Structure formats: C-alpha cells, structure tokens
Amino acid sequence: MRFFLLAQFFFFYFSLAAVSEKKCSRNSINLGKLIDTLLTDYDTHLLPEAEGVNVTIELHVQGVSGISEITGDFSLDVMYSEIWQDPRLSFKHLNVCATNITLKSDFRKKIWTPDTCIINSKSSSIHSSPSENTFVILYENGLVWSNFRLNVKTPCSVNLKVSTV
C-alpha cells in the first residue's frame, strides 16, 4: 500500500512538472538580456501600480536565543519574506525559456521594494555566513518573492518582582 501511494505521489508530481514545463526555442532570450530588457526605463522610485501595492509578509521563527533579563531583550533568527506584484517586471510576453528566475540580492537595489520595518526592534541584520542570506525569485507574471534570513533583537518586558528563591 505504501509503495502504491508513493508511486501515485511521484506520478502526480512529475505530471504537474511536465504540464508547467515551457517549450524552448532557439531564439529564446537569455537571462542576462531579460534582466536588461526589464530594467530599461524602470524607475525604482515609482510604485508598481498607482493605486498602491499589496505586500504579503511571511515571518517564520527559526530560533529564539540571547534572552537577557538585564537589558530586557531577546534575539530571534527568522526567515522573512516579502511578496508583491510588479507588472513592470512581467516577462510573459517575452520569449523566455523559464517561468521564474532566481536572482542575487543585488537585484533588489535595481527594483522598487517595500519599505517594511519590524516595530520596536532594537536591531536587525541579514545573516551573512558565508555570504548574504538573501535571494529574489521573479515569476513571469511579475510576482516578486524576496527572502532574507534575519537576526532580530527586540525588547521584552521582564518582571523581576516574583522570585522563587
């Protein structure tokens, strides 16, 4: 029974992969040229849409550490994601042999990004071991998914009145 379920899962998974696979032609645009094309006349100061942008924020706590009663704070390691739609970055209409592309962190400096913050945090930093833990996935419909691995130091209230000593 397990084998049957496992076989069924793999059949379903690879069927979906085959459906979403894109046909490539010889004159497909390479990824370097695609980025250059998308960023031609792109203004990072303008919102992707005049009406505003809905940004989805995902925060997954990976660990809690460094709890300090003296300074009243603690540290969190989190995976932080921002997801938004930027129609100016859509490449559906171009002859590209990919439905999404993964880009390095420096791509974020070339596009509009949301100005989000963690309220009341004392400090936050992007992990950089051995390199900056950031990447961006750009989908053909202009969906941007930006990911960071952060260390956040945030305050916590500590009540030192109650003690069982």
* pLDDT single digits (tens) 74-99: 999 999 999 999 999 999 988 888 89
Up-side HSE of residue 129: CA atoms within 13 Å toward CB? 5
| Distance in angstroms (rounded) separating the CA atoms of residues 77 and 63 | 5
Q: Is the pLDDT of residue 8 over 60?
A: no
Residue 33 pLDDT: 87
Percentage of the chain lying above the pLDDT 90 cut:
47
Domains and CATH numbers, the chain: 26-155 (2.70.170.10)
Closest of 83, 62, 79 to residue 148, by C-alpha? 79
pLDDT tens per residue, range 17-75:
443 445 666 667 778 888 999 999 999 999 999 899 999 999 999 999 888 888 889 99
Please state the pTM of the whole predicted model: 0.74
